[in-house]
Structure 1
Amino acid sequence: MRLRADFTRREVVRPEDYEWRSSPASGVDRMMLDRIGEEVARATTIVRFAPNSAFDPHTHGGGEEYLVLEGVFSDEFGDYPAGTYVRNPIGTRHTPRIGPEGATILVKLCQFDENDTEQKVIDTRTAQFQPGRAPGVSELLLHDVPGERVRMVRFAPGARLDTADKATSEEIFVVEGVLEDDTGRCPAGTWLRSPDGAGKSRGSQDGCLLYVKTGHLPV
């Protein structure tokens, strides 16, 4: 399968565009954002776990990165509520199990560099954000290695950020609120990908929270 696999193109997927597909595991559905491969794939996906669902034990042959969007995602190593950011490098193994709340995660698979071996768990709801590049914009750095930088970015109501000088690849997921850029309104659940750092400026009238990854696309 090849889905939004041309990384030279800009892509925008809003919640009204979602097409959920069943996974091989009972009670686990997927909204595929981009994908190259079949069941083992380089993929960016929203995964929705029904209450009390489970996934077979598996090894991350290409690494796994995920952000918990709703509910509580659990495995044998811990419970990860909404707002938790997790990196499981190449070769790690676990058995997901979901409690009565269910869970929804944004997950990226098979996108790790073999030298990127740091495993981490960050509670983004309690971590300290730092001032960003414009008034009303703050950032939380999650991961920073050559070829990949991952942050949470928060816009206070009315904040704007000029991005005209950006020339690096960029991927954004709107976690909360509404982002406004040259594509229009991007409500929570919107995914954007650009090979050259999307629109000239962006902002949020009522405030928003973003997951942002830059410098990573294979173009």
Structure 2
Amino acid sequence: MLNMNFDEQVFINTQEQPWVASPKAGVWRKPLAREDAERGHATSLVKFDPGASFTEHDHPLGEEILVLSGTFSDHTGDYHAGSYFRNPEGFRHAPFSKDGCILLVKLHQFQSGDNEHVVIDTANKSWSPGMGNLMVMPLHSFEGESTALVKWPKDERFQPHKHFGGEEIFVISGEFIDEHGRYPEGSWIRSPHLSEHFPYVEQETIILVKVGHL
């Protein structure tokens, strides 16, 4: 087991992590949280070498993916950087990458009844005004859990707040900061239920945020 105590604060700078070979040739991982070696709850960065592929499979309790770089493909199409999708239990595919890609992948974490297949091209989707000067791009919401991209303009500060149901952040670009530390591009932060912080940035920063699921 790795980082499966959801009452603990976790921070990983993935830029400092080595890639670890998966059982599939040409596919590499940086594990962030994992219930078991090859099944159950898992959050990871996944890298496909050019030409790497998987045989057809589905994902018990779903699969959530954000394409960070390159192009990820399956029988439904090609998904470039910024593509976000949710494949519910029962969705079968044989993914591959012709030229290589890096993904943020969450497995086995869908709530019961959350069966929607979601595909969003965030590179071509509009931002909406959020609190203060933040810009928000909602991606998914179900039974108190929600996922969104959040764009912070330079020097933006947010009010101190608590996370009901916890918060999980992946820093896509820029640097996210709070009183506990500085989190550069590639950082993964998981904060438990009712944790509290006072976040801000010094440069434009984009983060993926999931709340209410812990």
State percent identity of aligned pairs: 39
Q: 1:113 to 1:168 in 2, by over 3 A?
A: closer
Aligned partner of 1:190 among 169, 173, 187: 187
Separation in 1, partners of 2:51, 2:135: 36
Q: 1:111 to 1:133 in 2, by over 3 A?
A: same
Q: Which residue number corresponds to residue 127 of structure 1?
A: 125
Q: 1:142 to 1:197 in 2, by over 3 A?
A: farther
Aligned partner of 2:144 among 142, 147, 164: 147
Separation in 2, partners of 1:139, 1:209: 10
Q: Which residue number corresponds to residue 200 of structure 1?
A: 197
Q: Which residue number corresponds to residue 81 of structure 1?
A: 80
> How many aligned residue pairs are there?
214
Separation in 2, partners of 1:199, 1:158: 20
Equivalence map 1:10-21=2 (5 Å): 10-21=9-20
| Unmatched segments (≥5 aa) in structure 1 | none
Q: Which residue number corresponds to residue 157 of structure 1?
A: 154
Q: CA deviation at 1:134?
A: 1.5
The residue type paired with residue 209 of structure 1 is I
CA contact (8 A) 2:68 2:82 kept: yes
CA contact (8 A) 1:170 1:213 kept: yes
Separation in 2, partners of 1:212, 1:58: 28
CA contact (8 A) 2:160 2:198 kept: yes
Q: CA deviation at 1:16?
A: 4.5
CA contact (8 A) 2:15 2:186 kept: no
Separation in 1, partners of 2:120, 2:195: 27
Q: Which residue number corresponds to residue 106 of structure 2?
A: 108
* 1:46 counterpart SS class: strand
The residue type paired with residue 146 of structure 1 is E
TM-score of the pair, normalised by structure 2: 0.95
CA contact (8 A) 1:163 1:197 kept: no
Separation in 2, partners of 1:145, 1:158: 32
Q: 1:165 to 1:4 in 2, by over 3 A?
A: closer
Separation in 2, partners of 1:138, 1:197: 24
